[in-house]
Amino acid sequence: MRTALGALVVTLLVLLAAPAAAEDDPVGVWPLHPEPEVVARFDPPATPYGPGHRGVDLLGRAGQPVRAALAGTVTFAGMLAGRGVVVVGHGDTRTTYEPVAARVSVGDAIGRGAVIGALQSFASHCAPRTCLHWGWLRGEVYLDPLRLVGAVPVRLLPLWRDTPAHDATVGLLARPYADWRPPALWD
């Protein structure tokens, strides 16, 4: 009985997890190589100005090359609010990278995995460590960039609990960044 129940739970998790990995998501690459540790996950705000984490933080080292997750065109490369920022447009979405010392210019067409700059050690979301904040947007809607690399975690939905199992963990990870806002540029 226990085994049968376990199999059922696994089946349900697989079924429920399927929509999270949308089949029409573009296939990208990690901005840092080798595959980095995800220090803080995506925690989209409930309201446009609400607390949350509008992207993911990837652990890296100062000076490490930062790569475009998808092919596209550079739409911003420079300083914003005291930190280096690169934005790459991909049709109806765009990816953002910071803090990065840009090695590309606005209008540059770049390939997937192309180096767009070097990771900076200051203004990091995981200070005193060095992290890349990686974002993905469609219009003004923040998306989870881990979808681009097929790394979205399985969400444990409340089938047998009163509350979602992941909320407490995500909240704890995200709170240190709750007051952070991306520079108001992303158009």
**86, 102 contact by CB (below 8 A):** yes
Query: Which CB, 28 or 182, lies closer to Zn ion?
Result: 182
Please identify, using beta-carbon distances, which residue of 125 and 147 lies nearer to Zn ion: 125
Measured from the CB atom, the residue of 16 and 83 that comes closer to Zn ion is: 83
- Is 90 one of the binding residues for Zn ion (CB under 5 A)? no
| Of residues 19 and 49, the one with the C-beta less far from Zn ion | 49
Q: What sign does the dihedral 150-39-183-64 (CA atoms) show?
A: negative
Q: Report, in Å, the least distance between residue 175 CB and Zn ion.
A: 12
Between strands 141-143 and 65-67, the pairing is unpaired
Q: How far is the CB of 174 from Zn ion (least distance, A)?
A: 9
Contact status: 57 vs Zn ion (CB under 5 A):
yes
Instruction: Kindly write out the interface string for residues 116-155 of this chain, putting x where it contacts Zn ion by CB under 5 A and - elsewhere.
Output: ---------x-------x----------------------
Number of residues that bind Zn ion (CB under 5 A): 3
Q: Do you know the residue count of the chain? A: 187
Residue 165 one-letter amino acid: A
How far is 52 from 174, CA to CA, in rounded Å? 6
Q: Are 63 and 100 in contact (CB under 8 A)?
A: no
Of the two residues 67 and 125, which places its CB atom closer to Zn ion in the complex? 125
Nearest-angstrom CA–CA distance, 26 and 118: 24
Q: Which residues in this chain contact Zn ion in the complex, by CB under 5 A? A: 57, 125, 133
